Amino acid sequence: MTGLVVGLGVALAAGGAALIAVRRRVPPVERERRRLEELLKIGRSGDGFLTEVREDGILEYTYDVRGITYTASQDTSAVRGRLPSEVWILIGPATIKYLPGNPANSMVLCADWSGLRVRRSAGETGIKLTSNQQLKQSGEKTI
């Protein structure tokens, strides 16, 4: 009888721990927001190349860190309004932010920062640019 009571107590404790773990589980949207926030705070900037911009807001890009080439993609549907209607004009050089301890963790765009570059003037593309987003070299601009 004592074994049954102990077994029942262990089962209830395990069930309670599982319930707490499920309640504390962070939703994917919040997890991505936190990841981008961390990249924005402590991420290093580097040069990359935007290889594809899909209509659904997925950006595919490559970049090098310490001699290793990384290929990554980012879902930008949460900030879709920051992309121009003619997304193909974004293909080309871009600034990438990545975590120094984990260079595979990277981004090109978030709500508060953009590494996207446009080779046309803002008037031709309808993109709103701010002066702090302009590149110093070659006259390219970021959005």
Query: How would residue 132 be classed by pLDDT, with cut points 50, 70 and 90?
Result: very low
Token pair for 7? 């077994």
Q: Determine phi and psi for 131, rounding to 5 degrees.
A: -60, -30
Q: Is the pLDDT of residue 137 over 60?
A: no
Burial class of residue 90 (count of CB atoms within 10 Å of its CB; 0-12, 13-18, 19+)? buried
User: Could you report the per-residue pLDDT of 31-69, keeping only the tens digit for each?
Assistant: 999 999 999 999 999 999 999 998 888 999 999 999 999
pTM of the model: 0.67
Pairing of strands 113-114, 109-110: antiparallel
pLDDT band, very low/low/confident/very high, at 128 (cuts 50, 70, 90):
very low
